[in-house]
Structures are given as structure tokens and as C-alpha cells.
Structure 1
Amino acid sequence: MLCFPREDKMKDHSLSAMIGEDRLFGGKADILEQTGEKTVFHLDCRDGDGTMVIYRVFPGIELIFNDFHAFHCAEAQTGGRDDILEINHCRSGRFECRLSGNFYGYLGEGDLSANIWSVQRISSGFPLGYYQGAEVFIRIETAQAALSGIWGGIGIDLRALKERIIGSRPCFMMRAAPRIGDIFDRLYDVEKNIRSGYFKVKILELLLFLSIAPLETNGEDRPYFPRAQVESVKRIRAELMEKLDQHITLADLAEKYGLSTTALKTCFKAIYGKPVYAWHREYRLYAAAQALRKTDRSIADIADSVGYENASKFSEAFRRQMGCRPLEYRRFPLPFAGFSGAAE
């Protein structure tokens, strides 16, 4: 029989309590809703805001759904705790984390990461201006005691799991994998009447999977990038956004900013999720769509301003992206497909 321990018999050291008592975000979080099942927080960010919906699943284990619309976010003051394990899954957008030593790591759509709170994060942000994802917060000792009463512990040793996936690394990252996607994707839209039990089952499935599955990264390294390189790539992106009517080669950009073309391409894709040219082509069309919606400039003028030699080529490129010609879009504008987070 599956028997879940009662949480009300244990002292409350939950994430929701720490946030509610202003121990993590320094007064930048407000409670929007609080019930026996969940706590909803609103976070004030420097250039936007976000919500965190926190469910208590087991004693010592909480499930958090994050939804942010900002480029920067308040960094939690974790206090160097090595008894807290945090597992994150990115549903959409991208997450940027600057670690001590001035290195950056990135989490993309479908990716999973894990870290302990003793890892010092200097800053965090969302390079695309938005982020949605789920997080599993585990207070290891409390959670281990709770899980030991479920089917004889069902083989989950959280201390061993921490060593297995973290080891001596500052953070573990796994590329998008079908099994991880299957576990997390079903968490986002669960009927209320089964939510509590369903969350328990899926969290146990995740912990068992991470305890026994090969921890491959699907053949790709997940590198950390030095601060100087990241800042150079962000300046390159800003230049590309300003010079939409110009065709600048990667070789010229790399030389100007002191990077190799390989480093430029690798770092740019890690930050923004797309190759440089693909991103630039899409941003040019995004800027054109904005001009079509907000101005009465001619199609030819807009095409020229975003680097197209003639209106015909521009019209075809716009149709491939949006599914309609520029004139049709001007009459009936739709949300721009596949592009968000235009500028910081």
C-alpha cells in the first residue's frame, strides 16, 4: 500500500515559508494566494515580473511552476546550503545563470538542470525576455525521512542521488530527453481533483529515473561560458539589432569583438537558442512586422530598412515566417510567430 506521511507533524522549513518571510528575495515577493494546497507569489523584477506557484508534495519536497516575463530576476539569497537540492526543467524560453568565477550556464527548452544551494549564483536572467518551467525543491534530510516510509523507501536515496548527479560539478545539465519531457510535460495541465496524488507519483518517477538512468547529455557538451565572452556576444546581438539594413559577416563580428567564429557561434546559440544568422533573419522580420503594425510606411521602404534588396524578396520571406503577405498582415496583424524578447 502506498502510504504518504503527514506533513503537519513536521516543522515547516518550506520554500514557500522562506519566500513569504522575505528570507530569499528581500521583499520583492508578495503573496497573491495561499491555500492548504498551494501558495502563489508575485515577484517584482527589474524590467518585468513573474509568478511562482508552489505546491507541497511531500515533507521536504515542493513543486514550483515558474512563469516570468522579464530579462532579469531577483536572485535568491540561498546562504550556501548544501542540504537543499534544486531540479529545474525549462518548458519555454531560456534561463541564464552567472556563477562564481564569472562563468555563465544556460538552460534551454526541454533541458533539465540540478544544483545544490551551496553553489553561489551571482545573477540570473532570461535572455529571451520570458521563461516558463517547473522546479522541484528538495530539503534532503527532511525528504529522505518522508520517502523512507513509502513502499520501504522504493529505492530512492536522496544523498546518493545528489552525489550521482552533482558530484564535484557546480551544476548538472541534461539536454532535452523524451523521458524527462514525458515526466514534466504532464505536470503542467493536471485536473484539480487528481492533482495532489498525481504530483506525488510524478515526483517519485522523476527521482527514480534520475537514480538509475544513464545521465548522458545526448552527445552534446553543456559548456560554461566566461563572462567576457558572454558580454561580447550580447554586444554583437545589440549591434545586429541596430544595423538591420546591413549584412555583416560573422568573421567581421568575431574579429571586431576579439572572438573566434566558432566561439561566437557556440556562445550565441547557447544564450539565444538559435544560430546567429537564423536569429538575425527572424529579428529583421520581427522589426518589419512591428513597422507594418505601427506605421504607414511603404512595403518597399520597410523592406529596405531591414536589409532586403527588393519588396518581392521581402514579401516572400515574410510569408514563409508569418503565413501571409505584408499587406495582409497590415490589415489583420497577428502575433509574430516564433519570436519573443526583442530587446533588453
Structure 2
Amino acid sequence: KLKKFNPDIIQITHCQTGRYECEFANHTVSYLPEGYFSVAATEHLPVSFSFPLRKYYGVSLVIDRQVLSDATRRMMQTIPIDLDKIGTTLGLETRWYVSDTPPQLQHLFSELYTAVDTEPIGYFKIKAIELLYHMDQLTQINGCDLKYFDKKQIQTTKAIREYLISHLDEKVSLEQLAKEAHLNLSIFHLVFSHIYGDTPYAYLKKYKMNLAAQWLSENKMKIGDIALELGYSNASKFAKAF
């Protein structure tokens, strides 16, 4: 039998675009990928968050049961919606619950995004109740096997990424960079893919192509010069990659 858990605060977050990085009180870090949602409670709320892809579009709902109105409490009892059950079933006392978004929740989140600039606050209160109802139907089995990383590993991996994008015209050994940073190469690849959603090589190629597209649109550089700036020996190899 599950131990009863009574969270004062529950936070539900959905990531539509980008990635959502969360640091917790024990100095571990984890990620909410695109198309996923998370549920956190008082004892395991993120202490800080950031967006490693520098782009993010999502929505968060925070429920503080200490300030719920009597009308909202009565509505939740009638439906019923049990916040204690949500916290207990999803294991929120000890973890940050993350899952890919099932169709019924994806439809609901899509309605929220569409309504941002058009609907009154009352609409969002109704949708919040609807969202809580669906949370009440979740089971622990639905959650992902979430990976947590030490904050120092995250910082080291980000530092290596900064070095890579500032030396695009050079051939750089990831193995050597990881070794110099005292980070196992396999761990580096694992951490990098969780931060940025791609392997280092795939990420760098996309980064180079996006930068090339920007430079070409500005019409300030010749293709040959762009190729050299991005580490290609000639325009032909760059054109093939592009």
C-alpha cells in the first residue's frame, strides 16, 4: 500500500518546443524534452530552471492548496479530484514525474496554447480543473525512467560545447576535450544528448548549417569564406553538407 503523501504545492509543466532544464536541491539536474510533461510537488520542486537550446515554448500550472478558494475546493470534491492521490500515485515525494504526453493531455495543452491571447482568465481556471482531473487518472507506470546528472557534469559538458562552437573552423577531438575536462567520453556523450537533445556531432552540424543559412541570408560572405569559417576545406564539401 502506498504511503499517503500530502503535497501543499503541485506544479505541472508541458514543453511544447525546446528543452526545460531543472536543478534540484540536491544539486542534480534533469531535463523535460519537447513533447513531454512533468509533475512536481513541494518536496521535489526544481530550485532553478533554464533553457539550454535558448528557445522554449511551454506552459506551467502551479496549484497551492493553501490558497485554493472554497468554490474550487467544492468543485474538486464533486468531480472528484484528489491532490493527495496525485502526489502519492506519481511518487512526487521522492521524484520529479516526467512522461510523454498522451493524446488527451496533448489536446488539452494545445487548447491552452491556442487560447493564450484570446480567452479570459475564467477559461484557464476551467482548463486547470480539467488538467487536474486527467492528472488524477495517471498511474506511476506511465512515467519515464528519468536520468539525473550531477551539476558539475552539466557545467563541464556545457563548457565543452562552448569551446566547440567557438572553434568551428578547427578539427577538435571530443575524446581529448573530455579527457582534459576529467570527464569520461561515454558520460560526456550521454550528458550532452540529454542537455541538447542530439549527439555532439549532430548538434554541431545543425549549428553550423543554421549559422551558414544566417550568413548567406545576410549576403555579407562568400560561400568559400563561409566554408572555411565552419571547418570545411572547400566550398564543394560545404555545399554537400549544406
Tell me which interval the TM-score lies in, with the shorter structure as reference length. Answer: 0.7 to 0.9
1:309 correspondence with 2:233: yes
Question: C-alpha distance in 2, partners of 1:185/1:230?
Answer: 31
Secondary structure of the 1:221 match is coil
Contact residue 174 and residue 215 of structure 1 kept, 8 A? no
Question: C-alpha distance in 1, partners of 2:142/2:184?
Answer: 25
Question: C-alpha distance in 1, partners of 2:157/2:190?
Answer: 10
What is the letter of the counterpart of residue 266 of structure 1? L
Specify which structure has the higher proportion of strand: 1
Contact residue 224 and residue 235 of structure 2 kept, 8 A? yes
Contact residue 114 and residue 166 of structure 1 kept, 8 A? no
Question: C-alpha distance in 2, partners of 1:122/1:194?
Answer: 31
Q: How far off its partner does 1:150 sit?
A: 3.0
What is the letter of the counterpart of residue 230 of structure 1? I
Cα deviation digits, residues 219-241 of structure 1 (max 9, x gap): x5221110110011001101110
Question: Structure 1 residues 292 and 184 mapped into 2: Cα distance closer, same or farther (>3 Å)?
Answer: same
Question: Structure 1 residues 249 and 216 mapped into 2: Cα distance closer, same or farther (>3 Å)?
Answer: farther
Aligned length: 237
Question: Structure 1 residues 127 and 305 mapped into 2: Cα distance closer, same or farther (>3 Å)?
Answer: same
Q: After superposition, where does 1:184-333 map in structure 2 within 5 Å?
A: 184-190=109-115, 198-216=123-141, 220-294=144-218, 296-318=220-242
Question: Structure 1 residues 216 and 247 mapped into 2: Cα distance closer, same or farther (>3 Å)?
Answer: farther
What is the letter of the counterpart of residue 93 of structure 2? S
1:136 correspondence with 2:45: no
Secondary structure of the 2:74 match is coil
Q: Which one is further off, 203-212 or 115-124?
A: 115-124
Question: Structure 1 residues 246 and 170 mapped into 2: Cα distance closer, same or farther (>3 Å)?
Answer: same
What is the letter of the counterpart of residue 158 of structure 1? L
Question: C-alpha distance in 1, partners of 2:34/2:116?
Answer: 24
Cα deviation digits, residues 138-182 of structure 1 (max 9, x gap): 122554854453385212111221222243324222234433322
Contact residue 215 and residue 221 of structure 2 kept, 8 A? yes
What is the letter of the counterpart of residue 174 of structure 1? S
Secondary structure of the 2:177 match is helix
Q: After superposition, where does 1:38-53 map in structure 2 within 5 Å?
A: none
TM-score normalised over the length of structure 2: 0.82
Higher relative contact order (CA 8 A, sep 6+): 2
Question: C-alpha distance in 2, partners of 1:161/1:312?
Answer: 57
Secondary structure of the 2:182 match is coil
Question: Structure 1 residues 180 and 151 mapped into 2: Cα distance closer, same or farther (>3 Å)?
Answer: closer
**From 55, 75, 84, the counterpart of 1:159:** 84
Contact residue 94 and residue 272 of structure 1 kept, 8 A? yes
Contact residue 110 and residue 177 of structure 1 kept, 8 A? no
Unaligned runs of 5+ in 1: 1-81, 319-344
Question: Structure 1 residues 163 and 143 mapped into 2: Cα distance closer, same or farther (>3 Å)?
Answer: farther
Cα deviation digits, residues 66-116 of structure 1 (max 9, x gap): xxxxxxxxxxxxxxxx51211111122222222222111222222212223
Q: Percent identity?
A: 32
Specify which structure has the higher proportion of helix: 2
Unaligned runs of 5+ in 2: 1-6
Question: C-alpha distance in 2, partners of 1:177/1:311?
Answer: 46
Question: C-alpha distance in 1, partners of 2:75/2:155?
Answer: 48
Q: How far off its partner does 1:280 sit?
A: 0.3
**From 2, 21, 25, the counterpart of 1:96:** 21
In the alignment, which residue of structure 2 is the partner of 1:3? none
Contact residue 44 and residue 92 of structure 2 kept, 8 A? no
What is the letter of the counterpart of residue 185 of structure 1? S
Question: Structure 1 residues 246 and 159 mapped into 2: Cα distance closer, same or farther (>3 Å)?
Answer: same
Question: C-alpha distance in 1, partners of 2:139/2:157?
Answer: 33
Question: Structure 1 residues 214 and 255 mapped into 2: Cα distance closer, same or farther (>3 Å)?
Answer: same
Q: Give the root-mean-square deviation of aligned CA atoms.
A: 2.9
1:110 correspondence with 2:26: no
1:123 correspondence with 2:48: yes
Question: Structure 1 residues 149 and 197 mapped into 2: Cα distance closer, same or farther (>3 Å)?
Answer: same
1:84 correspondence with 2:9: yes
Contact residue 109 and residue 176 of structure 1 kept, 8 A? no
